[in-house]
């Protein structure tokens, strides 16, 4: 009786456990995490420019009472954050150095959680951490550049 009930479930699990379905899921996770940080990066540049960091961004990093990152000078942090929020999403979408890119975004999320928006863990940052951890553990999947660079098929 129990086996009769579990057979459809077992078939379903076998169907979605294939490499292609996993590769599609990992592509979705990469694009989702990339989109979060890409959109944030675009708010930090001058309108109509590609990577010209806005004065408002520099001001926010220097004078915003919510921005209390103690390690870097504020102007350097503004530039590094803006550039990282553009470069790392591109790498994620391509699936190039996926694990390293996701690890860097995880680090940025931890800094944001601790120093900028400590109240946003359950609403926002826990989801970003989950997406990054999936990519750190599983990699970019078969629909990424990473397997081509390593000389193996995903």
Domain ranges of the chain: 37-146
* pTM for the structure as a whole: 0.89
Phi, psi of 53 (to 5 degrees): -65, 130
Q: How far apart (Å, rounded) are the C-alpha atoms in residues 23 and 62?
A: 41
Q: How far apart (Å, rounded) are the C-alpha atoms in residues 29 and 135?
A: 8
Instruction: Quickly count: other Cβ atoms within 10 Å of residue 150's Cβ.
Output: 10
Over residues 61-96, the pLDDT tens digits come to: 887 665 666 778 889 999 999 999 999 999 999 999
- Give the mean model confidence (pLDDT) for residues 103-116: 94
Report the percent of the chain where pLDDT is more than 90. 72
Q: How far apart (Å, rounded) are the C-alpha atoms in residues 102 and 131?
A: 8
- Give the mean model confidence (pLDDT) for residues 39-47: 97
Please name every residue paired with 45 in a beta bridge, in sequence order, or none if there are none: 53
- Residue 142 makes CB contacts below 8 A (sequence gap 6+) with 19, 20, 22, 23, 153, 154
């Amino acid at each position: 009786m129990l086996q009769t009930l579990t057979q459809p479930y077992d078939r379903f699990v076998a169907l979605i456990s294939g490499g292609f379905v996993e590769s599609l899921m990992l592509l979705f996770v990469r694009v989702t995490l990339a989109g979060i940080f890409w959109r944030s990066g675009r708010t930090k540049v001058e309108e109509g420019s590609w990577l010209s960091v806005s004065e408002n961004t520099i001001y926010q990093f220097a004078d915003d009472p919510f921005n209390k990152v103690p390690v870097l000078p504020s102007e350097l942090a503004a530039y590094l954050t803006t550039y990282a929020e553009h470069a790392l999403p591109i790498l994620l979408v391509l699936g190039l150095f996926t694990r390293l890119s996701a690890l860097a975004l995880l680090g940025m999320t931890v800094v944001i959680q601790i120093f900028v928006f400590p109240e946003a863990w359950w609403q926002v940052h826990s989801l970003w951490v989950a997406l990054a951890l999936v990519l750190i553990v599983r990699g970019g999947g078969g629909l990424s550049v990473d397997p081509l660079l390593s000389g193996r098929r995903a």
